[in-house]
C-alpha cells in the first residue's frame, strides 16, 4: 500500500509501483476503438506510462497535453496515457485538444492496473497519478508516485530517464 494525499488529506493505493530494474507486466488495456492493447504491442519502443485518475480533471488533462507536446520530440518512444475513463471520453478529449503524439488507453475493463487504484477517499476505485518509464526491453527505468494527487508529475525527470 502506498500513501498519498488529496488536497492534503491522506489516501492510499492498493500497492506500490514496480521496482526499478523489474520488467513491466504485459498489462491489458482498452484502446479508443474498444480494441484490446497489451504492453507487449509496443515491444522494441521505449515506453512512458502516464497514469492518472480521470481526463476530466485539470491536472490529468494538463499531463496528457504536456506529454503530447514532449512526445513530438522523442525517438522510438510511445507515451501511453492511462486512466479508468471510458474510451469514448478519452477519444473526445484527444479530438477536442488535438492530441496526436500520445495514445490514450483505458483500464476500465481490466484489473491489470488495480495495484495503483485508490482504496479510500472520494476517488476510490480510480487510478492514482503515477509515471512509469521503461526501456525497449520493458525494464523499468523510472517511477514516480505523485505524492499529492492535485500536482503534476515531474515530466523532466521522467523524460531524462529515457
C-alpha cell belonging to residue 153:
508529475
Which cell is 4 given? 498519498
pLDDT tens for 47-93 read: 999 999 999 999 999 999 999 999 889 999 999 999 999 999 999 99
Tell me the C-alpha distance between 26 and 138, whole Å. Answer: 9
pTM to 2 decimals? 0.95
The predicted structure's pLDDT at residue 1: 85
The residues, ordered by sequence, that sit 6+ positions from 41 with a Cβ below 8 Å of its Cβ are: none
Q: Which domain holds residue 123?
A: 2-160
Please count the structural domains in the chain. 1
Determine the Cα–Cα distance for residues 67 and 64; give it in Å rounded to an integer: 5
* Strand, coil or helix: 28: strand
Catalytic residue list: 60
The H or E element spanning position 123 is: none
CATH number, domain of 50, equals 3.40.30.10
pLDDT in tens, 57-66: 999 999 999 9
Amino acid at each position: 500500500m502506498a500513501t498519498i494525499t488529496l488536497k492534503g488529506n491522506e489516501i492510499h493505493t492498493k500497492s506500490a509501483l514496480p521496482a526499478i530494474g523489474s520488467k513491466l507486466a504485459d498489462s491489458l488495456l482498452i484502446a479508443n476503438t474498444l480494441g484490446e492493447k497489451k504492453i507487449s504491442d509496443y515491444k522494441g519502443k521505449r515506453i512512458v506510462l502516464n497514469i492518472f485518475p480521470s481526463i476530466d480533471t485539470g491536472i490529468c488533462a494538463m499531463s496528457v497535453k504536456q506529454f503530447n507536446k514532449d512526445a513530438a520530440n522523442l525517438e522510438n518512444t510511445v507515451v501511453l496515457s492511462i486512466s479508468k475513463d471510458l474510451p469514448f471520453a478519452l477519444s473526445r478529449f484527444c479530438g477536442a485538444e488535438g492530441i496526436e503524439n500520445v495514445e490514450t488507453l483505458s483500464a476500465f475493463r481490466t484489473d491489470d492496473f488495480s495495484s495503483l487504484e485508490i482504496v479510500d477517499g472520494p476517488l476510490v476505485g480510480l487510478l492514482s497519478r503515477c509515471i512509469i518509464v521503461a526501456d525497449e526491453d520493458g525494464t523499468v527505468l523510472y517511477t514516480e508516485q505523485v505524492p499529492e494527487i492535485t500536482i503534476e508529475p515531474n515530466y523532466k525527470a521522467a523524460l531524462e530517464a529515457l
